[in-house]
Amino acid sequence: MAIKYTPEPFRIKMVETIKMLSSEERVARIKEAKYNLFSLRSDDVYIDLLTDSGTNAMSQDQWAGVMIGDEAYAGGRSYFRVLEAGQDIFGYKFIQPVHQGRAAEKVIYSLLLEKGKYSISNMHFDTTRAHVELAGGRAIDCNIKEAEDPKIRIPFKGNMDNKKLEALINEHGAKNIGVVITTITNNSAGGQPVSIANIKETSEICKKHGIKLCIDAARFAENAYFIKHREEGYANKSIKEIIREVFSYADYFTLSAKKDAIINMGGLVGVKDDAEFFQLCKGNTISYEGFITYGGLSGRDLEALAIGLNEGVNEDFLKYRIGQVEYLASLLDDAGIIYQSPAGGHGVFIDARSMFPHIPYNEFPAQALAIELYKEAGIRTCDIGSYMLGNDPDTGEQLKSTFEFTRFAIPRRVYTQAHFDIMAEALIAIKKRAGQVKGYKILWEPPVLRHFQAHLQPL
């Protein structure tokens, strides 16, 4: 039975008109886009769940901040506002703004990795894996086994497999591990949270072997909310207190602020206390992003970022945010649709493999479901499966993903209960005709991050 929808802790002050194309128009549009959801015009999309990154609705305080952003090239006051907010929330001495999360990865991983080095993570997301490989390194996923079964419900399904981590360090040699990355929440595993106990244990292993620990912090506030409500001993802690403890166990963090900081553009690099390493990060920022006090952002973006960092850790907002995802998941439970359970923080990850057992991994079942959702109801989602994973960088062979998920990434403060009902209705309709759905083949792909640009054809 569907749970009660969590009411919005805000009033709507401005609206953006959207429209639903006819079924015939949607079929034509996805064909014109060569069956790549990223190639659709946003005007042709009714409900856009492609990503929760940069697609959020900013608050009146953030929009007011936009008007007072300091556009100075160097030393702008909005830069110092970001530093103060970042230092207060994360407890790190050094904070560097950049234009988005993958910029943070480019700045930091090029310093930690090179040919012959490995990055080990509870799961690398696509851009993280790409920057590991661009730096010359190789990415190894180290997720717990339970994460690989969507039906298993445990509170911290995003955890690192720390026994496997120890074995990998011993196998490859500590000197060859450039970095260990803990992603919170674990996006590729379905937006699943990571416990403080697990992060602390990972940290102890890294310290023992002299390896640096970096947190991929895109959804740090959602992860803290799960810790508060699921991990023993944290029910009476504030969200900010939990965040401070989590980050105390790491050396660095990268942050796409386009998620939990509820802004449209921005990111951060955090360095706990290593002044020498931070100086190298600043050098990379100047090369890749511009001067250090704007980091590829306008002053108005910096001002909105400083405000959004604090809004994103508000517990009333997080209750509503997680509640939306749980509501959608409960509708799918009633319909017998399998997803990565329990529902994650930023979205629902549908198990396309169970929906289309007749479509093999190299015909991309999760991409097939994403295309069907657009044709069915104008909903744009994305593949988190073999299509996104791509090819082995050494052999060129198609990799088989642990999961074949179609991700419903929910933008913050954007959609209402009626939209969530439409999402569920579309999935139910597709399930009824699942046996008729075919897979896809790739006609053209770029060498890196192919899913953003590849051309496909239905089989």
d(C-alpha 307, C-alpha 326), whole Å: 27
d(C-alpha 260, C-alpha 222), whole Å: 7
Residue 220: active-site member: no
Q: By three-state DSSP, how is residue 148 classified?
A: helix
Task: Check 126, 260, 301, 383 and give the catalytic one.
Answer: 126
Q: How far is CA 401 from each of CA 134, 165, 260, 298, 356, rounded to the nearest angstrom? A: 20, 20, 27, 38, 15
d(C-alpha 370, C-alpha 124), whole Å: 22
Residue 216: active-site member: yes
DSSP 8-state symbol, 395: T
Task: Check 259, 282, 346, 431 and give the catalytic one.
Answer: 259
Residue 226: active-site member: no
Residue 259: active-site member: yes
Q: What angle do CA 57, 312, 219 make, to 5 degrees?
A: 100
Phi, psi of 61 (to 5 degrees): -70, -40
Task: Check 85, 135, 218, 454 and give the catalytic one.
Answer: 218
Task: Check 28, 73, 93, 163 and give the catalytic one.
Answer: 73
d(C-alpha 261, C-alpha 105), whole Å: 17
d(C-alpha 139, C-alpha 4), whole Å: 41
Question: Which of these, 263, 318, 213, lies nearest to 98 by C-alpha position?
Answer: 263
Q: Per-residue b/e over 50-64, b at no fewer than 16 CB within 10 Å?
A: bbbbbbbbbbeebee
Residue 218: active-site member: yes
Task: Check 104, 225, 451, 454 and give the catalytic one.
Answer: 451
d(C-alpha 453, C-alpha 158), whole Å: 29
Residue 149: active-site member: no
Q: Could you tell me which residues come within 8 angstroms of residue 396 by beta carbon, excluding any fewer than 6 positions away? A: none
Task: Check 125, 156, 294, 405 and give the catalytic one.
Answer: 125
d(C-alpha 29, C-alpha 373), whole Å: 13
Please give the span between the terminal C-alpha atoms of the chain, in angstroms, as a whole number.
37
Residue 361: active-site member: no
d(C-alpha 452, C-alpha 448), whole Å: 9
d(C-alpha 97, C-alpha 108), whole Å: 12
Do you find a cis peptide bond into 9, omega within 30 degrees of 0?
no
Tokens describing residue 114: 């090179």
Task: Check 44, 141, 216, 351 and give the catalytic one.
Answer: 216
Question: Which active-site residues does the annotation give?
Answer: 73, 125-126, 216, 218, 259, 451
